[in-house]
């Protein structure tokens, strides 16, 4: 069962590295996919536990205004999720 959503997050350029680092701290420590190296405007480099375009090849955003990341959020099964699955046939 899954839902797919996309979010656009707009930040001042100087806040991007800190926001991505904080977001990465929320990810589980173990991963099957290798980390994603991202170069941001101003030369900041961050290593993230996500993919971009479902790949882990280094991404250079130093001349770009956008960065697309892929990740999954997993929630424990509770009554609301169980009911949704039963009603939806999952």
- Any domain includes 3: no
Contact 85, 1 (CB under 8 A): yes
**Which H or E run contains 45?**
strand 45-48
Contact 81, 74 (CB under 8 A): no
Instruction: Record the tokens describing residue 14, joined without a space.
Output: 């100087």
Query: Residue 69 has what pLDDT?
Result: 87
Q: Domain count of the chain?
A: 1
Structure confidence by residue, pLDDT tens digits, 57-89? 999 998 888 888 887 766 677 888 788 888 876
Question: From CA 68, how far away is CA 83, in angstroms rounded?
Answer: 32
Quote the domain boundaries for residue 66: 13-88
Whether the pLDDT of residue 1 is over 60: the answer is no
- Any domain includes 2: no
Whether the full predicted model's pTM is greater than 0.75, yes or no, is: no
- Residue bearing the bigger pLDDT, 5 or 20: 20
- Any domain includes 49: yes
- Any domain includes 7: no
Three-state helix/strand/coil letters over 60-80: ECCCCCCCCCECCCCCCCCHH
- Any domain includes 66: yes
């Amino acid at each position: 069962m899954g839902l797919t959503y996309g979010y656009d997050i707009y930040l001042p350029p100087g806040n991007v590295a800190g926001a991505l680092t904080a977001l990465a701290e929320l990810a589980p420590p173990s991963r099957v996919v290798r980390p994603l190296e991202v170069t941001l405007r101003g030369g900041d480099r961050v290593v993230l536990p996500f993919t971009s375009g479902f790949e882990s090849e280094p991404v250079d955003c130093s001349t770009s205004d956008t960065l697309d990341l892929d990740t999954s959020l997993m929630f424990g099964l509770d009554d609301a999720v169980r009911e949704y699955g039963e009603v939806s046939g999952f």
